[in-house]
Amino acid sequence: MSTLGTIDRPATHDPMKQVPTMTPLSDSPARHTSGAPESRQNRNRDMQLIPEALARAHMHDRLHEAESERRAVQLAAARRMQRRAERASLRARRALAMAVMQ
């Protein structure tokens, strides 16, 4: 196993033993490349994340749709099998009655 970790899963949780490049982003000083205030940078970052959030919400809705469709198909199949079993039971009961009558 490698002794190197990742940012999300460092090899050790002891800050003194971590690789210097593995420091969390919050410990590093904030970058102000455009000189914009922090609220504006946050808004820009949020605006850039909107398509990702929309895609995630869309996929969540599609998964729920697919699951409900799957349940509906399973329910319809179960009802078909129940009716088929009931008809087979009636046929068997009739056949038994006919055999007893003879």
Cα–Cα distance, 10 to 3 (Å, whole number): 9
Q: How confident is the model at residue 56 (pLDDT cuts 50, 70, 90)?
A: very high
Global pTM value: 0.46
Cα–Cα distance, 56 to 13 (Å, whole number): 31
Lowest mean pLDDT among 62-66, 69-73, 74-78, 98-102: 98-102
Long-range contacts of 49-56 (CB under 8 A, 24+ apart): none
Choice between 8 and 81, residue whose per-residue pLDDT is larger? 81
Cα–Cα distance, 44 to 92 (Å, whole number): 73
Tokens 């749709």 locate to 65
